[in-house]
């Protein structure tokens, strides 16, 4: 019986193996790169909103606190989107004829809610609770970024699991004193490492079982 | 792909009773068997023993015809095209309120006290609402008829609320109409009626205890003096009323106090399962059976004379199976032994049994009680009243109050007679479904068709709606205001949690519109009624608004229970008793019972209830003809064989079910099935037995014939699924044995856990130590097998129903199952229940085999991470307790059995196809408590976390808590010498444990073969 493979089959096999490895590696790199893009994470791009509400103006310039509108944040898992009535506390007096606010007035008139476009979304199998985070010194800014600088809000972080886990493993560096949780652009005045240790103690945070699956998934 | 009408010979489960009897005769002591198939070692039982999902291979053989295949292919092409079009990314929308209601916090549920009725009797519930959407109900701890517990019917109310098959608009001759057109037409006719004083106008209602609705009916009668009121309820209590009249000369409401009773005798009464007040009764009964740490060993004793096996019989220490028709004779003999009247005819064995019971009753003067069943005739009730008086029970274990329902309504027979005499031309049917559930001999449908104007108010476009001119959709109890009395007369208020979803209207509105009065809303009517009548219950000088607010908030009116009264027992009762029934039996006895799951048929369209295994047979999606083993043997009828029931010239065909503990010659059938217009789920399930019912024999009669057909059918029973080979899983003993051997649960059973560090593997201790170690205990002495926990778990954890065909394949999804065991012979076996949730093993076998670490330990619990699971099912295969459930298909949406999306609990993931799921100890409730505790920097206090099953349990058989909290309730329970773990010998270190079941048999009636 003659030889099935000729000597040059060795070379072909080598080339094929190299190509196969390269193929997998390149595709892997491309997919990984794609996965990092803001497109996949929905980050960096502000979606259109029915009313072009500017956090930059209201928070940054006027200094209205987060909890004025998102008042569920200390009590509930959901920070809350303000009802039309909250907008109208000021806008029944100010800019009462601004065309930009027409949808708000219409909402009040027709008793139809404003349909805001969601910016931040977690998968349905993740149970995130706002109240326990702000109560334990995790500032709004840690997840939502410098909202006071956003004309229309965009998403800053991709919220992949590693983002959550990183903080659950070592929350210290992200924590702030109680009076700075809702502040934007706050900077620690003492050594951050010292502050982290102090705050971990202050908030009684134990990380031992903080990364157990049942903390977020149920 | 219909399963029921296959009539092949290869349906599993054929059994040879002679072999079984021989085998059971050879058993000694406490050997348990799960069913006749186990004893007979049929291939079906073996199948389930060896494979978890034995019928999987058979599913490949399902025939798909060419048309179905083309349809599916066409569908998938269409979906693919649609999918491409939808390539752009989805936009999520947040819709806030325009004006947020006061106190509302989006994301946090609100709780409202309200009440739900069954047969007119209220049970208080707390309804949970997420941003205005009711999602869950649980018992109201302050309500006397609930005491925090709930039954399966009330639990399923949320599912019924969102049922898409509910009547959606008012219809005229089945053509959609409008409410305003209804008002217009009714106003016109009421004006005409006014002239004649309401001549020819009649109202047919169900049992009503609602004070405000009764006042409305009185108003109508005042407005139209000639109007008539009739009342019909298929599961009625006519015998109870007539019995009281016989004994006292007046109607009374009987309230039992089982907490004060040491000896209880039930004459066919299912007081743990269905009687008004059953939740409270179950609690009282269980409190008398629970062994409390540090207290003397003591237990009440329950004797049941049972016409058919019930959960009350299963909890009894002694059961005497007697056909319901012969209980009259037994009751007379019982009374005669206490010096009341003449004895009825009893057999020698029955006489011996009764002697021992009477001896026991006499010994417990003042602490004994006899409970007659609702299905029993007046004589039995009268005798029970006399016996209770003789036993010194009145004022102690039994109290009497004014009746809950007023007299003055005619019966259904009166109505059909009146129609026969052309006295009715306008009939308003308020609720019920008489065209379907009226006794057949009255021919209600035929009579109804002759009424000129037929107006009907109900939840579903059902059989009666189809025959009515106007059909007005009813508002659900979670959608309307109302009131009703609890079993002890406590006024319970109903408040809406949501505006009517489907143009529903309340009974008040319909009654007012039909009678031409102002169409006030239910809120105005109910509140208006109580504004007039509140002073009786208000504290000194309390304003109505304060009273109303307080009462609505609590769901009941404080101190409104009816006061006890002492009716005078007739001295000549013995001579007034009617002649004993059925001295000469013709044919077999036919017995009707409301169904464990769908009651009289009103819950037929509920997937939760249809799939809830029936308490004793564990059958889903079907009813059966229950026969005793001896009767089946005599007639040569096989299990699951279709038999023809012949009675008074009518015939009905249904599958036979050989029922251990069923009295001989008595055949029991369940009401509520074979619906023709129930909705997508209920229509055509099971067989209809109402055609056999007669107005003069509502509950039982003789003269039944049974005919074999030789055809056998599939019945979807869950009994043999997830069966575990007997390894001391269930442990029971008598109270005397417990006194002598306090540690009997550990004696003679293989189940000793290996010592710590005996294994070469590292111990599964959590490092660093856990803050909380959650654990559960289930007391087998007090579990009554009512299945409230199963459906509460389903409602809380978004567990899907799967349908009959899937249950047949062993694919049911209930995380918590209740195993039923028998012990002893087939004729009067002892029955035990054992709920089996996940054991939350510290050393969990499922965790080692998961290739993707979806089954892991988290916070000391055995977690299943759904978003990681890839569905290899290795964990389920390795679970010794068989408590893991796999989503074989997409059960959660798009199937008629899928839970309505709005009824899902937003705190729990809805699992998709191909995912393993299991009991989590209600981790969402633990997390909620943990977050609340964390925010205040405290530990979770003992008792703050209650699992859904624990909360639902009427007998508080389930304890749950943290082992790390010293002196916590769970630690106390687990310190009991009765505590044992299932399969502890395989070193799983389960967190769920059991308290060994205790019974308290009378030594005078001890069975010889029992060694324990």
Inform me whether the pLDDT recorded for A54 exceeds 90.
yes
Task: Give the H or E element holding residue B471.
Answer: strand B470-473
- Out of B95, B98, B105, name the one closest to residue A75 (CB): B105
Residues of B near A (Cβ–Cβ under 8 Å) read 91-100, 105-108, 766, 768, 770-771, 856-859, 861, 863, 865-868, 907-910, 920, 923-924, 927, 931, 934-935, 937
- Residue B798's alpha-carbon distances to B61, B461, B606, B910, B948, in angstroms, are 31, 27, 15, 6, 12
Residues of A near B (Cβ–Cβ under 8 Å) read 47, 72, 75-78, 80-85, 107-108, 111-118, 121, 123-125, 127, 129, 131-132, 135-136, 204, 206, 208-209, 212-215, 217-218
Q: What is the pLDDT of residue A142?
A: 94
- The answer to whether the beta carbons of residues B652 and B667 sit under 8 Å apart is no
- Out of B92, B96, B858, name the one closest to residue A214 (CB): B858
Buried b or exposed e, range B67-104, using 16+ CB within 10 angstroms: eeeeeeeeeeeeeeeeeeeeeeeeeeebebbbebeeeb
Which chain B residues have a beta carbon less than 8 Å from that of A217?
Answer: 863, 865-867, 909
Which chain A residues have a beta carbon less than 8 Å from that of B771?
Answer: 206, 209
How does DSSP classify residue A148?
Answer: G
Which chain B residues have a beta carbon less than 8 Å from that of A124?
Answer: 909-910
Which chain B residues have a beta carbon less than 8 Å from that of A84?
Answer: 96-99
DSSP string, B872-897: --HHHHH-TT---EE--S--SSSSTT
The nearest CA of chain A is from the CA of B943 a distance in Å of: 21
- The answer to whether the beta carbons of residues A147 and A184 sit under 8 Å apart is yes
- Out of B106, B863, B923, name the one closest to residue A78 (CB): B106
Q: How many CA atoms lie within 13 A of B390 on its CB side?
A: 22
Query: Is residue B748 helix, strand or coil?
Result: coil
Inform me whether the pLDDT recorded for A13 exceeds 50.
yes
| Inter-chain touch A111–B98, beta carbons under 8 Å | yes
Phi, psi (rounded to 5 degrees) for B761: -75, 150
**Category of B713 on φ-ψ map: left (φ > 0), alpha (ψ -120 to 50) or beta:** beta
| Inter-chain touch A72–B924, beta carbons under 8 Å | no
Residues of chain B with confidence (pLDDT) below 50: 1-9, 722, 1008-1012
Enumerate residues 6+ apart whose C-beta is below 8 A from A81.
A69, A70, A116, B94, B96, B106
B75 vs A188: which has the higher pLDDT: A188
Which chain A residues have a beta carbon less than 8 Å from that of B105?
Answer: 72, 75-76, 80
Q: What is the pLDDT of residue B73?
A: 75
**C-alpha–C-alpha distance, residues B484 and B410, integer Å:** 21
Q: What is the pLDDT of residue B102?
A: 83
**C-alpha–C-alpha distance, residues B642 and B712, integer Å:** 6
Cα B476 from chain centre: 19
**Category of B593 on φ-ψ map: left (φ > 0), alpha (ψ -120 to 50) or beta:** beta
Alpha helical stretches, state H, B162-260: 179-196, 211-223, 238-248
- Going by their DSSP bridges, the two strands B398-401 and B228-231 should be labelled as unpaired
Q: Which residue of B has its CA nearest to A116?
A: B94
Instruction: State mean pLDDT over A148-172.
Output: 92
Q: What is the pLDDT of residue B78?
A: 66
Instruction: State mean pLDDT over A156-166.
Output: 91
Mutate to test the interface with A, among B98, B919, B925 (most CBs of A within 10 A): B98
| Inter-chain touch B858–A115, beta carbons under 8 Å | no
**C-alpha–C-alpha distance, residues B204 and B874, integer Å:** 58
Mean pLDDT of chain A: 91
Residue B713 tokens read as 């059918």
DSSP string, B295-322: SPP---EEEEEESS--HHHHT-SEEEE-
**C-alpha–C-alpha distance, residues B260 and A178, integer Å:** 56
| Inter-chain touch A76–B909, beta carbons under 8 Å | no
The nearest CA of chain A is from the CA of B807 a distance in Å of: 26
Q: What is the pLDDT of residue B516?
A: 84
Q: Which residue of B has its CA nearest to A110?
A: B98
| Inter-chain touch A212–B863, beta carbons under 8 Å | yes
Q: Which residue of B has its CA nearest to A208?
A: B768
Q: Which residue of A has its CA nearest to B107?
A: A78
- The answer to whether the beta carbons of residues B931 and A129 sit under 8 Å apart is yes
- The angle that helices B211-223 and B522-533 make with each other, rounded to 10 degrees, is 100
Q: Tell me the sheet residues that pair with B125.
A: B114, B139
Instruction: State mean pLDDT over A6-28.
Output: 94
- Residue B824's alpha-carbon distances to B31, B299, B1010, in angstroms, are 7, 22, 9
| Inter-chain touch B865–A213, beta carbons under 8 Å | yes
Inform me whether the pLDDT recorded for A5 exceeds 90.
no
- Which residue matches tokens 């990183």? A166
Q: What is the pLDDT of residue B40?
A: 67
Q: What is the pLDDT of residue B1009?
A: 41
**C-alpha–C-alpha distance, residues B171 and B461, integer Å:** 9
- Going by their DSSP bridges, the two strands B619-620 and B916-917 should be labelled as unpaired
**C-alpha–C-alpha distance, residues B920 and B858, integer Å:** 11
CB contacts < 8 Å between A and B, how many? 120
Q: What is the pLDDT of residues A124-142, one digit of tens each?
A: 899 999 999 999 999 999 9
Which chain A residues have a beta carbon less than 8 Å from that of B861?
Answer: 214
- The answer to whether the beta carbons of residues B380 and B328 sit under 8 Å apart is yes
B29 vs A14: which has the higher pLDDT: A14
- Which residue matches tokens 């399962």? B273
| Inter-chain touch A213–B768, beta carbons under 8 Å | no
| Inter-chain touch A131–B861, beta carbons under 8 Å | no
Flag whether the pTM goes above 0.80: yes
Q: What is the ipTM of this complex?
A: 0.89
How does DSSP classify residue B911?
Answer: P
């Amino acid at each position: 019986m003659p030889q099935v493979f000729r000597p040059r089959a060795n070379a072909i096999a080598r080339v094929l193996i190299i190509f196969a490895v390269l193929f997998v590696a390149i595709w892997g790199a491309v997919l990984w790169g794609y996965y990092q893009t803001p497109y996949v994470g929905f980050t960096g791009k502000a979606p259109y909103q029915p009313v072009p509400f500017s956090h930059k103006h209201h928070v940054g310039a006027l200094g209205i606190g987060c909890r004025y509108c998102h008042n569920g944040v200390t009590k509930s898992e959901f920070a809350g989107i303000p009802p039309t009535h909250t907008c109208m506390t000021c806008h029944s007096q100010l800019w009462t004829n601004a065309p930009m606010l027409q949808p708000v007035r219409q909402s009040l008139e027709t008793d139809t809610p404003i349909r805001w476009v969601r910016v931040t979304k977690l998968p349905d199998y993740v149970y995130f609770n706002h109240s326990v985070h702000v109560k334990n010194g995790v500032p709004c800014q840690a997840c939502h970024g410098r909202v006071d600088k956003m004309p229309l809000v965009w998403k800053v972080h991709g919220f992949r699991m590693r983002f959550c886990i990183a903080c659950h493993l070592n929350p210290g560096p992200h924590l702030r004193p109680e009076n700075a949780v809702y502040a934007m652009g706050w900077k620690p005045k003492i050594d951050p490492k010292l502050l982290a240790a102090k705050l971990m103690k202050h908030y009684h945070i134990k990380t031992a079982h903080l990364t157990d699956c049942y903390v977020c998934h149920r | 792909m219909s399963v029921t009408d296959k009539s092949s010979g290869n349906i599993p489960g054929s059994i040879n009773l002679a072999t079984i009897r021989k085998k059971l005769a050879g058993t000694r002591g406490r050997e348990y068997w799960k069913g006749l198939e186990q004893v007979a070692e049929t291939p079906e039982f073996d199948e389930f023993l060896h494979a978890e999902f034995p019928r999987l291979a058979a599913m490949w053989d399902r025939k798909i015809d060419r048309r179905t295949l083309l349809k599916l292919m066409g569908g998938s092409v269409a979906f693919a095209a649609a999918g491409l079009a939808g390539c752009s990314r989805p936009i999520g929308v947040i819709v806030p309120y325009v004006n947020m209601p006061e106190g509302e916090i989006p994301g946090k549920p609100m709780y409202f006290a309200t009440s739900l009725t069954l047969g007119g009797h209220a049970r208080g519930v707390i309804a949970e609402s997420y941003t205005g959407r009711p999602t869950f109900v649980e018992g109201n701890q302050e309500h006397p008829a609930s005491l925090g517990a709930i039954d399966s019917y009330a639990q399923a109310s949320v599912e019924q609320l969102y049922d898409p098959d509910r009547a959606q608009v008012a219809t005229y001759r089945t053509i959609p109409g409008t409410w305003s057109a209804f008002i217009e037409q009714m106003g016109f006719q009421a004006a005409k009626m006014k002239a004649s004083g309401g001549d020819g106008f009649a109202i047919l209602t169900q049992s009503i205890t609602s004070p405000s609705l009764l006042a409305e009916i009185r108003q109508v009668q005042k407005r139209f003096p000639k109007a008539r009121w009739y009342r019909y309820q298929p599961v009625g209590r006519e015998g109870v009323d007539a019995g009281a009249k016989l004994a006292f000369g007046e109607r009374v409401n009987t309230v039992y106090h089982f907490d004060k009773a040491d000896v209880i005798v039930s004459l066919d009464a299912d007081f743990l399962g269905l009687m008004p007040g059953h939740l409270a009764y179950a609690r009282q009964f269980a409190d008398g059976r629970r062994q409390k740490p540090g207290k003397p060993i003591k237990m009440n004793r329950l004797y049941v004379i049972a016409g058919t096996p019930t959960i009350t019989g299963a909890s009894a220490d002694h059961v005497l199976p007697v056909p319901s028709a012969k209980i009259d004779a037994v009751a007379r003999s019982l009374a005669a032994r206490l010096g009341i009247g003449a004895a009825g005819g009893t057999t020698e064995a029955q006489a011996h049994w009764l002697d021992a019971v009477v001896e026991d009753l006499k010994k417990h003067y003042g602490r004994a009680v006899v409970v007659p069943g609702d299905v029993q005739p007046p004589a039995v009730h009268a005798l029970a009243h006399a016996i209770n008086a003789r036993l010194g029970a009145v004022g102690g274990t039994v109290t009497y109050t004014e009746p809950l329902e007023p007299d003055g309504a005619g019966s259904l027979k009166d109505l059909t007679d009146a129609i026969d005499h052309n006295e009715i031309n306008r009939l308003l049917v308020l609720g019920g479904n008489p065209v379907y559930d009226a006794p057949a001999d009255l021919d209600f449908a035929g009579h109804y068709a002759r009424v000129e104007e037929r107006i009907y108010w109900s939840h579903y476009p059902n059989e009666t709606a189809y025959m009515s001119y106007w059909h007005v959709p009813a508002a659900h109890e979670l959608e309307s205001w109302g009131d009703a009395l609890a079993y002890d007369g406590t006024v319970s208020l109903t408040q809406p949690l949501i505006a009517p979803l489907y143009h529903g209207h309340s009974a008040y509105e319909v009654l007012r519109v039909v009678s031409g009065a102002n169409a006030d809303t239910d809120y105005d009517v109910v509140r208006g009624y109580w504004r007039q009548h509140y002073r009786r219950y208000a504290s000194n000088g309390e304003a109505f608004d304060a009273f109303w607010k307080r009462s609505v908030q609590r769901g009941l009116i404080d101190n409104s229970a009816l006061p006890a009264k002492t009716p005078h027992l007739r001295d000549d009762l013995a001579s007034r008793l009617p002649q004993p029934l059925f001295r000469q039996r013709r044919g077999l006895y036919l017995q009707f019972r409301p169904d464990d799951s769908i009651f009289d048929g009103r819950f037929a369209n509920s997937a939760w209830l249809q799939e809830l295994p029936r308490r004793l047979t564990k059958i889903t999606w079907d009813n059966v003809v229950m026969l005793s083993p001896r009767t089946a043997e005599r007639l040569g009828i096989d299990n699951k064989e279709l038999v023809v029931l012949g009675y008074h010239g009518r015939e009905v065909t249904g599958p036979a079910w050989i029922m251990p503990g069923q009295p001989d010659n008595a055949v029991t059938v369940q009401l509520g099935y074979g619906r023709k217009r129930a909705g997508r789920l209920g229509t055509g399930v099971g067989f209809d037995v109402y055609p056999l019912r007669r107005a003069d024999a509502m509950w039982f009669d003789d003269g039944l014939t049974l005919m074999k057909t030789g055809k056998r059918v599939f019945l979807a029973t869950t009994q043999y699924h997830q069966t575990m080979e007997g390894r001391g899983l269930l442990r029971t003993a008598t109270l005397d044995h417990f006194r002598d051997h306090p540690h009997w649960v550990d004696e003679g059973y293989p189940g000793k856990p290996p010592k710590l560090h005996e294994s070469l593997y590292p111990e599964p201790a959590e490092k660093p130590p856990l803050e909380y170690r959650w654990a559960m205990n289930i007391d087998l002495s007090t579990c009554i097998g009512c299945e409230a926990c199963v459906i509460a778990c389903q409602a809380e954890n978004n567990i899907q129903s799967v349908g009959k065909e899937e249950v047949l394949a062993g694919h049911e999804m209930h995380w918590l199952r209740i195993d039923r065991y028998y012990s002893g012979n087939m004729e009067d076996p002892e029955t035990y229940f054992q709920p089996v949730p996940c054991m939350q093993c510290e050393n969990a076998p499922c965790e080692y085999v998961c290739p993707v670490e979806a089954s892991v330990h988290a916070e000391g619990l055995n977690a299943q991470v759904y978003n990681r699971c890839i569905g290899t099912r290795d964990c389920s295969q390795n679970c010794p307790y068989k408590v893991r459930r796999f989503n074989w298909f997409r059960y959660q949406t798009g199937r008629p059995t899928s839970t309505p999306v709005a009824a899902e609990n937003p705190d729990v993931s809805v699992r998709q196809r191909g995912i393993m799921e299991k009991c989590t100890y209600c981790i969402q409730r633990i997390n909620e408590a943990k977050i609340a505790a964390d925010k205040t920097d405290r530990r979770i206090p003992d008792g703050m976390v209650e699992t859904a099953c624990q909360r639902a349990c009427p007998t508080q058989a389930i304890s749950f808590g943290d082992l790390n909290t010293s002196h916590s309730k769970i630690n106390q329970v687990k310190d009991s010498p009765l505590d044992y773990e299932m399969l502890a010998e395989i070193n799983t270190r389960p967190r769920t444990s059991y308290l060994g079941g205790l019974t308290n048999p009378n030594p005078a009636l001890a069975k010889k073969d029992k060694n324990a």
